[in-house]
Amino acid sequence: METWEFGRTVRRWRDRVAPEAAGVPTGRRRRAAGLRREELAALAGISADYLTRLEQGRARAPSAQVVEALARGLRLTDAERDLLYTLAGHATPGRDVVPSRVTASVRRLLDRLSHTPVVVHDATWTLVQANAPYDALMGDTTAWNGLERNAVWRNVTGMPTRVVHTPEEQALHEARLVADFRLTASRYPADLGLRRLVTALTGNERFAELWNADDPAIPAPPTRHKTIDHPAAGLITLDCDTLVVTQDDLRITVYTAEPGTEDADRLALALVVGTQSLTG
């Protein structure tokens, strides 16, 4: 791989991406027109130091997962994405790898929902993209790296969350996530990144229990409501709808409130306060 050319290309494309287009909140004193290095690193789920070394041609060949994450953060076209894979020494991934890219049509959909909390996960429930309203409601996701970006991992390990669940609801939620994850693993048996994720997850007792069940029970359908305990707005009960983009195997979760209700007012407050804290 021409590491210098790969890094130079990433840097050039980073400079052209408007922060608003990538869902990155901007403050008043911002000078850079494009994405800062730390912002792209957060969007791609890698460290800013590693991105620095990639851009300067000092890092070894990035994995296909890193290339895909950078392509997503840079909002590349299909042709540009293919070029980035080529510069990294990889073939463009086929249908045997879990897709994690946001196509132009899906990006347009997300742009239409720019004032609504929306989060996108791939078929392994790894976070692909969260918009500013989602971070304002649920807490900042931009610093999450590695396994922290995987919803299965976050739930089975009991990582902090603003979602309010009873113990019974939490157990059902974990079972649903792992059941869906098992189906994903069966669809992509050749995906090495997915295999590594399974290995990492099976070190958790709760995940291993659900994963290794001989006859896993099919969980009841999930509730379409979620209660969030926001530090400024208090308890907010919202409609929570997960839309599956079949062709790209993505899960888009949207949080809304019935207009004119107390929950709608609390959601509006949470978004204002949360967005101010993210840009301050």
pLDDT in tens, 179-202: 999 999 999 998 888 999 999 999
Instruction: Please tell me the class of the 104-279 domain.
Output: alpha beta
pLDDT for 30: 65
Q: What is the predicted pLDDT for the residue at 279?
A: 60
pLDDT for 84 equals 92
pLDDT at position 60, please?
Answer: 79
Look at residue 32 and give its three-state secondary structure: coil
Spatial separation of the C-alpha atoms in residues 67 and 106, rounded to whole Å: 19
Q: Show the low-confidence residues of the chain (pLDDT under 70).
A: 1-3, 23, 25-30, 32, 94-95, 215-223, 278-280
Give CATH 1.10.260.40 domain extents, the chain.
3-87
**pLDDT score of 51:** 94
Contact residues for 187 (Cβ-Cβ < 8 A; gap 6+): 123, 249
Q: Are 98 and 191 in contact (CB under 8 A)?
A: yes
Strand order in the sheet with 250-256: 127-130, 118-121, 250-256, 234-245, 225-230
CA separation for the pair 257, 242 (Å, rounded): 15
As annotated, the residues of the chain forming the CATH 3.30.450.180 domain(s) are 104-279
Phi then psi for residue 243, to 5 deg, are: -105, 135
pLDDT at 1: 46
Q: Where are the beta strands (DSSP E) in the chain?
A: 118-121, 127-130, 225-230, 234-245, 250-256
Fold of the domain built from segment(s) 3-87: 434 Repressor (Amino-terminal Domain) (1.10.260)
Residue with tokens 């359908």: 221
